Amino acid sequence: MANETTSTSLAGLVEDISGEAIMILQDNAGLLELVRHVDTMGKPGKTYDFPIFGEVDSDDVTQVAEGTDHSTNLEITNADTAATIEEHVIMAVATKMAVEASRDDVVQEIATLFASAMNAKLEDDIVGLASGFSQTVCGAAVSMTIDHWYDSIRQIKAANGNLRELAAALSPLSYYGSKGLRALLVSTSAINAGEVAQKWIEFGMVNTQFGMPALVSNEIAEDVGTSDVSANMIWTRGAIGVHTKDLLDIEEQQDASLRGKEIVATGRWKQIELVNNWGVYFACNNA
């Protein structure tokens, strides 16, 4: 047929990889859904200023008599927190022979690798903010307890953080390990241990605990500062901001001597701490 294209050629490979990778990245957004996220794709400028307003509380409200002129002016502060885009790059080479061997596999594998790597880097940047939080619980030689979770919630509430938007990120050992969340909730001393333990046995996890989702992140160090310490974190959405401008931009360039194409993926984002007291550094012993 005159208009039939050859599926084993490199033509259209980048478009296929780009489409597949973006779908994978969107399906595995992870921590991006739990922070204050602004995307400026298609808009000029590399910097986005997250507006941060100073607190206004009950002491700022004055009871006045009817007909009395209230002349006290309250100045509402607004501090812009700048997040300037940075580039994150990964490259792969697809030779013509590799594509001819199995084009569909090449598209799927490269797309999966690019999307997974970019998502992991974004996650690594976000959890890397944990140690910057001034509020802390647990400690290097301390094992996780239920009290630590509620103390974290208390600290965020005291700072007027939104408890309906809480989230936690734990290392694999702090989630599944012998001193982690699994052991804590499956323990017979835990409240409703029977029901919670059954869910862990059936699903290998529980979706929500202490009123928040707890994500498992391979990007959280298991030996921060000293051995057997995980750099976990609890926060509410407004504590962290992420500015993105195209999470996965894929380009290609022919390399004639290599008889293939260089395929380069670029992710553009910047993560920043917005409100320090809306996050808690939850470093604890994991072994």
Strand partners, 243: 38, 270
Specify the pTM.
0.79
- pLDDT value at position 66? 87
Architecture of domain 133-240+275-285: 2-Layer Sandwich (3.30)
Closest CA to 125 of 37, 25, 242: 242
Asked if residue 209 has pLDDT above 60, the reply is yes
Q: For CATH 3.30.2320, list the domain ranges present in the chain.
A: 133-240+275-285
% of the chain with per-residue pLDDT over 70? 77
**Averaged confidence pLDDT in the chain:** 81
Interval 211-237 mean pLDDT:
91
Q: Which of 35-39, 52-56, 142-146, 267-271 has the lowest mean pLDDT?
A: 52-56
pLDDT band for position 269 (50/70/90)?
very high
- What are the tokens at 241? 């901001």
What pLDDT score does 7 carry?
34
Q: Is the pLDDT of residue 255 over 90?
A: no
Report whether pLDDT(184) > 90: no
More confident residue, 151 or 187: 151
Q: Which pLDDT tens digit goes with each residue over 106-119? A: 656 776 777 788 88
* CATH, domain 13-54+76-127+241-272, list 3.90.1150.10, 3.50.50.60, 3.30.2400.10, 1.20.1260.10: 3.30.2400.10
Which residues make Cβ contacts (< 8 Å) with residue 234, sequence separation at least 6?
Answer: 149, 152, 153, 156, 166, 167, 168, 212, 279, 280, 282
- pLDDT exceeds 60 at position 10: no
**What are the start and end residues of each CATH 3.30.2400.10 domain in the chain?**
13-54+76-127+241-272
Query: Which of 146-150, 188-192, 267-271 shows the lowest mean pLDDT across its residues?
Result: 188-192
Decide if pLDDT at 29 tops 80.
no
| Residue 193, pLDDT above cutoff 70 | no
